Amino acid sequence: MSSRCSCKINLSLYSSRRLLQMGVYNAELFNNLGLCCFYAQQYDMTLTCFERALSLADENIVSEIWFNIGHVAMVGCRVSLFVLCIIYYNN
């Protein structure tokens, strides 16, 4: 990963965490934070953020969250999790 891309990810992580400190607490933020954590190789926080996003999600964003979880699963070669995400994404 290039240093420029790494800087953008770190800036996104910082901005997202700052929004959480300011009281912004919604599914979209946790969804984006999950992706940022994944690309920053903070895998322990990735699924935690996605779980939080799913718990806060309404029907308009839940498919986006499952799509992103599926992407993380596919990159991580977790075939069973990827299949589960596709099933939920199509519902």
Whole-number Å distance between alpha carbons of 50 and 14? 17
More confident residue, 91 or 17: 17
91 has a pLDDT exceeding 60: no
* Percent of the chain residues topping a pLDDT of 70: 76
| Of the candidates 16, 51, 10, the residue with the CA atom closest to the CA atom of residue 32 | 16
- In tens, the pLDDT along 2-31 reads 555 677 888 888 888 888 899 988 999 999
Mean model confidence pLDDT for the chain = 81
Q: What is the pLDDT of residue 67?
A: 86
| Of the candidates 34, 8, 1, the residue with the CA atom closest to the CA atom of residue 20 | 34
| Of the candidates 32, 26, 31, the residue with the CA atom closest to the CA atom of residue 11 | 32
Whole-number Å distance between alpha carbons of 30 and 38? 12
Question: Per DSSP, which regions of the chain are E strands?
Answer: none
